[in-house]
Structure formats: C-alpha cells, structure tokens
Amino acid sequence: MSKKGILIVISGPSGAGKGTICKALLERNEYYLSISATTRSPRKGEEDGINYYFLDRDEFKTKIEEDDFLEYAEVYGNLYGTPRSKVQDMLDSGKDVILEIDIQGALRVKDKVDDGVFIFILPPSMEELKQRIIKRGSETPESLMTRFKSAYQEINYVSKYNYAVVNDTVDKAVRKIESILIAEKCRVDRIKEKILDSKEGLIHEQLYD
C-alpha cells in the first residue's frame, strides 16, 4: 500500500504572511505547490502552468460542471479555482501538497477534503498586523480602518482550522508547519489500517518456524 501525501492548506488573514511562509516551506521541502486556475489575463512575466493555469471563461465553466475544482470563486469579475485532479495525482503519488488560499476558499476546500490539514497563520500581534497593513499603502484612514476590521473579523475563523501558527519569524513558523506534517503522518486515524495489516505477519510466521 503506497503512502498518500497530505493536503496542507495554509490560510489566514491578509497581512499574516502566508505567501512568505509558503515560499520558505517550498525552498526547504519537496512539497508540491497547488497552482490555481483563473480566467484573468496573465500579467507581465506570468506563465501558464507556473503562476496560474490561465483558462478562458468557457473552459473554466466546463470544469465547474465536471466538478474539477476543490473550490472556486469569482473575485472582481474573474474566476479562480483549485484544480482537483492535479492535487489528487500529487497526493496519490505520495507528494504532500501545499495550498495557499484565502479564508473562505479554505473553508470550501474543507467541505471536500476532510482529511486535509488546515493551518491558520496569525500575525504576531494586532499591532504588528496593523503595521503590515499600513505598509501595504492604504491611502485613507477609513480604508485602513476597514482593512483592519476585516482582519480582526477574519481571526474569528481560526476555530474552523486544525492548527494555528504565529508568524513571529518565518523560520519558526516554517519549522512548526514541518512538525505539524510529521505529527499528522503519525496520527493513528491516518495509519491504523496499515498497522493492523502489518500485524498479520507475526503469528502466521510463528506457526511455521
């Protein structure tokens, strides 16, 4: 029985540092990073199959009908989705898959992949979060307040996740996520059948020794 990979969903509020963490995780490990499909046009420097799978709207809609997405959503007039079959192939081949996604997208994935590992990235403090949001160049005090309130509300979603990792430093956060993956692979409910199957060698052998 070959070992299946684990789907690791990295999510959390804007400003928490999901992107930086995923980048570092991939530099240190042989994970596959899930690439989304989208109907938006490629930006300068983006390549099909590298940054996104760029599809036209009809192709995307066909895939929706064929249940080809773990989740999808429309954002500012463009469709975005996580392709199911590629992720499944990687998991079946034993590769762990990282999916970096917004909070709502993660919850949609959770409906379909109940043995996924859902990790919520937290900023080290609300003060730090505020600083990071400010640095992103919000022009008015009102839009800053909106963004901050939004992040604040988003943190309530932590209770829907399996793990919460504080992004105090990227290095520490990455090491925690790597530990989570090792621990998950030792969980009895993931590996129970394998253990009980491998028992069957003992008494049988003993009878014939």
Can you say which residues are annotated as belonging to the binding site for ATP? Answer: 12-19
The answer to whether residues 13 and 132 touch, using CB atoms and an 8 Å cutoff, is: no
| Binding residue (CB under 8 A) for a copy of itself from 4, 54, 162, 170 | 162
DSSP character for 48? B
The reply to whether 165 sits near a copy of itself by the rule CB under 8 A is: yes
Q: How far apart are CA 24 and CA 171, in angstroms?
A: 8
Which one of 2, 56, 139, 195 is in contact with a copy of itself (CB under 8 A)?
Answer: 195
- Nearer Cβ to a copy of itself (41/186): 186
Q: Does 161 bind a copy of itself (CB under 8 A)?
A: yes
Is 116 in contact with 110 (CB distance < 8 Å)?
yes
Q: By CB under 8 A, is residue 132 in contact with a copy of itself?
A: no
CB of 132 to a copy of itself, least distance (A): 12
Identify the CA nearest to 180 among candidates 86, 116, 88. 116
Q: Which span sits near a copy of itself by CB under 8 A: 2-10, 35-43, 78-86, 197-205?
A: 197-205
By C-alpha distance, which of 2, 191, 29, 26 is closest to 93? 2
Whole-number Å distance between alpha carbons of 151 and 166? 15
Contact string (CB under 8 A) for a copy of itself, positions 84-123, x = contact: -----------------------------------xx-x-
* Per CB under 8 A, 129 contacts a copy of itself: yes
Query: Closest separation between CB of residue 47 and a copy of itself, Å?
Result: 35
Q: Among 64, 74, 104, 152, indicate the residue that binds a copy of itself (CB under 8 A).
A: 152
Counting other chains too, the contacts that 72-79 makes at CB distance below 8 Å and 24 or more residues apart are 73/104, 73/105, 73/108, 78/38, 78/39, 78/40, 79/37, 79/38, 79/39
CA–CA separation, 34 and 105 (whole Å): 13
Distance CA 64, CA 66 (A): 5
Q: How far is the CB of 58 from a copy of itself (least distance, A)?
A: 40
Residues that bind a copy of itself in the complex, under the rule CB under 8 A: 119-120, 122, 124-127, 129-130, 145, 148-149, 151-152, 155-156, 158-159, 161-166, 168, 172, 175-176, 178-180, 182-184, 186-188, 191-192, 195-196, 198-199, 201-209
